Chain A
Amino acid sequence: MFRIALKGILGRKARLVLTSLAVILGTSFLSGTAVFSATLNRTFDNLFSDVFRNVDSYVRSTQVIEADFGAEERQRIPVELVDMVKQVPGVADVQADIQAFARIIGKDGQPLGSEGAGPPTFGGVGQEFKGALWTISEGRFAAGPTEVVLDESSAKAGKFALNDKVKVVAQAGSREFTLVGIAGSGDVRSPGGATFALFDLATAQEFLAKPGFIDDILVSGDGTLSDKELAQAISAAIPSSYKTETLTGAEITKETQDQIGTALSFFSILLSTFSYIALGVGSFVIYNVFSISAAQRQREHALLRAIGASKKQVTRALMIESVVVGLFGSTIGLFAGIGLSKALSALLKAASIDLPSGGLVVPSSAIINTIVVGLIVTVASAWLPARRAGRVPPLAAMRETAIEVVALSRRRTLFGLLLIALGAATIIAVTSGASNKWLGLGILFVFSGTITLGPVIARPVALLLGKPAEKLRGVTGTMARQNSARNPKRTSRTAAPVLIGVALVTAVAALAASISTQIDGVFTQQFKGDYAISTNARGFGGLSPSLADDINTLPEVERATGIGLLTVKIDGKGQYLTTINPATVDGVFDIGLTSGTYADLTAETIFVSQKYAENNKAKLGDTLQVTLADAQVKTLTIAGIYEFDDIAGKYTVSRDLIKDSTVINFDLGVYIKLKSGVSDQSARTVLQAAVDKYGQGTLLSKREYIDKQSGSINQLLGLIYGLLFLSVIIAVVGIIITLLLSVFERQREIGLLRAVGMTKSQVRTTVRWESVITSLLGAVVGIVLGVGLGWVIVYALRDQGLSSFSVPVGPTVSILVMAFVIGVLAAVYPAWRATRVNLLAAITTS
């Protein structure tokens, strides 16, 4: 039987290729994402080994606040520690290090690097130091308050030459410097696409941070002590009152690598999740191809049965075939995936994220995983068709043509309906109070039920969708319509991958539309001004607080207020506080105060949200202990309670709270109300001038600002669409394969039609419309499921403040158009094959 199976495979190479195609695609995404993640990890590991290559010890504060999303804010250390460390025996050289926000403004007035979306923009200290990251490639290091050094990439991107004036924006505002040097780092011109502006130590402290403070100290030993001994010696030399710790070079390297690893693992998980979705979609295609090819060989199998092969033997022959296809497909998929990851790296490079070339990393786990998963998926997908093939009656050998069994059992209908009913019941149970965690199960039930019912609904829905084709194309349309409905099992299996892809896209679009609507509503309610200045810097840098103060002095402006974010520790946990300016916020940005007045908000008080007050039984006059990032502990009295917590969150404080600390605070937005009678034209001119002075932030009208906020979700959406595109590719390939096999099966019919006068272009039209109808079938059912799924997700997020559901009308229309286009494209090759049918061979009886 093994030999028969092998002969069966090699006898029809075209079939082997078609069957393997789905396996290849599915597994290539799997191996591609694994290799890409591993390579990215290794790249960053190498990068940080390089950064700390000659650093033997690293001194920093032990005071740190860890907030959500892995954000971390570490306290600064006093600069006098530098001299203290320098005195320690065994220390050869030290460098005071500052890592802060600084944005280089190009000659055209636009900041270098994309605001928000791009890699970070750093400011730091550049000096001669044995362990320095930077080496001067042109000019010299900065000395004095008017000099700056740029990294090579930034200098090139901004077309800056030595002695040019360079404008830089940082904590202390915007200033102009003279470029005295250009620095490189290792074999990259600028690590990871970030930009760097380097100053001398005094300038860096004053301009980037706070005078007298630095972030950490890099130490290079003289070789008399081991790294460990050196760290201990330094640690012993610094009084414990400074609350510092000293790490060895190896330790800080490892810690940084681990941090990056954690950040990257989110990305890796996202990538692999979607590659598994794509593989799941692919398994439908594999199942479909095996079913069709088994049906087309029905007579062959019947003959084997007639001459004495057992059911088991026929099944086993097909299972052996699936093992061969699985191994063959996954192996090719593995290599295709390695190519794919190369393409991804090239894409990153094109997006100007320049990573040091470390070569591809192909972990053995990726190899094993790809082959094993590919094999399992293939064999599991072939299991049912193989069993069905074994059950073919020997008598079928005498039948005219092989026809796939199309009888639809009532059991299937009942089972499918039961699954959907179960799913619906689960979801209803959740909406009437059961735990959210049951939602997943409910969704799974509904999806499985729909897939089970697929063959039952495929015929009526395909016939309905085919109506326009019939109207438009006459008899060719009629035939396309009937062809797509003639084998409902096959049609539904072909449409299933489209259905799953479309359902996921629609659900994501519905979620995004709901979030957008929500954000729109929140800002419309709270933002009472006319203009806003926004910045995209998320958690790193932002608008200088003096921008809002400057704008407040403009004669055209009634009032301008800045709103920012502060990371602190409350009850030992990292928390975000919203900072406002109580003197200017009223009437521009409304947080819905229900008790207290803005005047009550001082450096000694705090406002909390109504929800917080209810949940924590807090009332006016209660106190909260807040630990700032510089370890100062403040006891704040609750002086007000507000209703609108979508933007402000749980806590709101005055920006005066941090006036006397080393904590740096930026505004994330400045909101402006104009004096009445000021024209938009003149307002824009003066406001833009104020923004330009700082070289930071974007001036937007109220409408533009709200649209931008509610559109911010679209970036995430783009990424998810991109990843779901993998599944779409597989769905298209599924349609192509099915059409090819159907064309092959209908050779005689096509030959007959050609003989009685069907032109080649009419043959193509028929195949094309059949493809379009199949694709639309998947899309329409997918949209219905996706909108439902989206609603369920939005419902599940109601506690996160998502209160309204919006149907994504625009995306739905684009999906339908896409499905149409996909149908047309998928049909190109099969339609061409159909016109190549040998007319004579098809009509003469053998």
Chain B
Amino acid sequence: MNNPSAATATNVSKIYGHGDSEVRALDNVSVQFETGKFTAIMGPSGSGKSTLMHCMAGLDEMTQGSVTIADIDIASLKDKDLTKLRRDKIGFVFQSFNLVPTLTADENIRLPLLLGNNKGNEEWIQKVINTVHLQDRLTHRPSELSGGQQQRVAVARALSSEPAIVFADEPTGNLDSTTGNEILSFMRKAVDELGQTIVMVTHDPVSASYADRIVFLKDGKIAGELLNPTPELVLDYMKNLGH
């Protein structure tokens, strides 16, 4: 059975503080991320886009609501099981400091598998490595790689365990536009050619235009959606949202 939704958030709220000082970072958000699709989450700073990603990825606790990843309700999981879920079912790409400096590129790519004492699917891993063009960099340590190469290792790491979903938090935020576009193309290829599911948080319309669908967030609420976006469409949509 193949669930059309890799991750689902239902009525998720994240509230900081009490009473007058109460801040609703997420206010009753419900959203689904389809399997095999590339989704971008956009919104201005403080809109709650990163918080949504953190809550859905099991990195942060939500105040109310429920999240399922690969049909597992994560709210009921203890720390240990949540950690295993992140390891086996979720891939991560962060903006910076993605790699363990003491491990080689190859070890970094296989990190989730190694942590799970899991050999993984070697054929798949080779395919991933080929997709991001890292064949001749595998024995290098992060300090010997360029910023772009480091992010490619991070993307490969996120995909190596054939996760149900990959969360990427501003993956190109620290890169120049050429290198950034290269990373985005790899992510696109991962969805198109490898059938992966990717959710990316970004504030850049050009980056977002690589996605199949964009979810807009404002003041902790879903503010709208856009299918098959182009940079122009994204900019127009954001203007209409009052940007």
Residues of A whose CB lies within 8 Å of any CB of B are: 474-476, 478-479, 482-483, 486, 748-749, 752-760, 762, 839-840, 843-845
Q: Which of A478, A486, A760 contacts B83 (CB 8 A)?
A: A760
Q: Which of A479, A486, A756, A845 contacts B92 (CB 8 A)?
A: A756
Q: Which of A757, A760, A843, A844 contacts B87 (CB 8 A)?
A: A757
Q: For the complex, give the distance between the alpha carbons of A753 and B100 in Å.
A: 8
| Known contacts A752-B94, A839-B59: A759-B84 contact under CB 8 Å | yes
- Contacts of A840 on B, CB cut-off 8 Å? 54, 59-60
Q: Which of B83, B84, B92, B111 contacts A475 (CB 8 A)?
A: B111
Interface contact B115-A475, CB-CB below 8 Å: yes
- Contacts of A758 on B, CB cut-off 8 Å? 83, 87, 115
Q: For the complex, give the distance between the alpha carbons of A762 and B102 in Å.
A: 16
Q: For the complex, give the distance between the alpha carbons of A483 and B103 in Å.
A: 10
Q: Which of B97, B111, B114, B116 contacts A843 (CB 8 A)?
A: B97
Q: For the complex, give the distance between the alpha carbons of A748 and B99 in Å.
A: 10
Judge whether B188 is part of the interface by a CB distance below 8 angstroms: no
Shortest Cβ gap from A112 to chain B (Å)? 61
| Known contacts A758-B83, A759-B84: A475-B102 contact under CB 8 Å | no
Q: Give the residues from 95 to 138 in chain B that come closer than 8 angstroms, CB to CB, to chain A.
A: 95-103, 107, 111-112, 114-117
- Contacts of B152 on A, CB cut-off 8 Å? none
Q: For the complex, give the distance between the alpha carbons of A483 and B87 in Å.
A: 22
Shortest Cβ gap from B139 to chain A (Å)? 14
- Contacts of A845 on B, CB cut-off 8 Å? 94-97, 173
Q: For the complex, give the distance between the alpha carbons of A760 and B84 in Å.
A: 11
- Contacts of A754 on B, CB cut-off 8 Å? 83
Q: List 18 A-B contacts (CB under 8 A).
A: A474-B114, A475-B111, A475-B114, A479-B100, A486-B102, A752-B94, A752-B97, A752-B100, A754-B83, A755-B59, A756-B86, A756-B92, A757-B86, A757-B111, A757-B112, A843-B59, A845-B94, A845-B97
Interface contact B80-A755, CB-CB below 8 Å: no
Among A478, A486, A755, A760, chain B packs the most CB atoms within 10 A around the CB of A755
Q: For the complex, give the distance between the alpha carbons of A793 and B195 in Å.
A: 72
Smallest CB gap from B60: residue in A = A840
Chain A contact surface mostly? helix
- Contacts of B94 on A, CB cut-off 8 Å? 752, 755, 843, 845
Judge whether B236 is part of the interface by a CB distance below 8 angstroms: no
Smallest CB gap from A748: residue in B = B97
Q: For the complex, give the distance between the alpha carbons of A697 and B86 in Å.
A: 73
Residues of B whose CB lies within 8 Å of any CB of A are: 50, 54, 59-60, 79-80, 83-84, 86-88, 92, 94-103, 107, 111-112, 114-117, 157, 169, 173
| Known contacts A840-B60, A843-B59: A479-B102 contact under CB 8 Å | yes
Interface contact B115-A757, CB-CB below 8 Å: yes
- Contacts of B92 on A, CB cut-off 8 Å? 755-756
Q: For the complex, give the distance between the alpha carbons of A762 and B80 in Å.
A: 11
- Contacts of A475 on B, CB cut-off 8 Å? 103, 107, 111, 114-115
Interface contact B88-A749, CB-CB below 8 Å: no
Known pairs A482-B103, A844-B169 / 11 extra A-B pairs, C-beta < 8 Å: A474-B117, A475-B103, A475-B111, A486-B102, A752-B97, A756-B86, A757-B86, A757-B88, A757-B115, A760-B80, A762-B115
Q: For the complex, give the distance between the alpha carbons of A44 and B59 in Å.
A: 67
Smallest CB gap from B86: residue in A = A757
Interface contact B50-A844, CB-CB below 8 Å: yes
Q: Which of B86, B87, B102, B169 contacts A482 (CB 8 A)?
A: B102
- Contacts of B60 on A, CB cut-off 8 Å? 840
Q: For the complex, give the distance between the alpha carbons of A479 and B79 in Å.
A: 22
Q: For the complex, give the distance between the alpha carbons of A760 and B169 in Å.
A: 24
Smallest CB gap from A485: residue in B = B102
| Known contacts A478-B107, A479-B100: A756-B157 contact under CB 8 Å | yes
Smallest CB gap from A483: residue in B = B102
Interface contact A757-B83, CB-CB below 8 Å: yes
Smallest CB gap from B58: residue in A = A755
| Known contacts A475-B107, A843-B94: A755-B102 contact under CB 8 Å | no
- Contacts of A476 on B, CB cut-off 8 Å? 115
Smallest CB gap from A475: residue in B = B114
- Contacts of B103 on A, CB cut-off 8 Å? 475, 478-479, 482
- Contacts of A479 on B, CB cut-off 8 Å? 100, 102-103
Q: Which of B96, B101, B115, B169 contacts A756 (CB 8 A)?
A: B115
Q: For the complex, give the distance between the alpha carbons of A103 and B43 in Å.
A: 94
Q: For the complex, give the distance between the alpha carbons of A754 and B94 in Å.
A: 13
- Contacts of A483 on B, CB cut-off 8 Å? 102
Shortest Cβ gap from A491 to chain B (Å)? 13
Q: Which of A753, A757, A844 contacts B116 (CB 8 A)?
A: A757
| Known contacts A840-B54, A844-B50, A845-B95: A759-B83 contact under CB 8 Å | yes
Interface contact B80-A759, CB-CB below 8 Å: yes
Smallest CB gap from A843: residue in B = B94
| Known contacts A475-B107, A755-B59, A845-B95: A749-B101 contact under CB 8 Å | yes
Q: For the complex, give the distance between the alpha carbons of A474 and B116 in Å.
A: 10
Interface contact B111-A756, CB-CB below 8 Å: yes
- Contacts of B101 on A, CB cut-off 8 Å? 486, 749
Smallest CB gap from A757: residue in B = B87
Q: For the complex, give the distance between the alpha carbons of A703 and B155 in Å.
A: 72
Shortest Cβ gap from B11 to chain A (Å)? 22
Smallest CB gap from A480: residue in B = B102
Q: For the complex, give the distance between the alpha carbons of A74 and B60 in Å.
A: 85
Interface contact B96-A755, CB-CB below 8 Å: no
Smallest CB gap from A761: residue in B = B80
Q: For the complex, give the distance between the alpha carbons of A758 and B79 in Å.
A: 11
Smallest CB gap from B158: residue in A = A756
Interface contact A755-B86, CB-CB below 8 Å: yes
Q: For the complex, give the distance between the alpha carbons of A845 and B79 in Å.
A: 23
- Contacts of A839 on B, CB cut-off 8 Å? 59
Shortest Cβ gap from A474 to chain B (Å)? 6
Interface contact A749-B100, CB-CB below 8 Å: yes
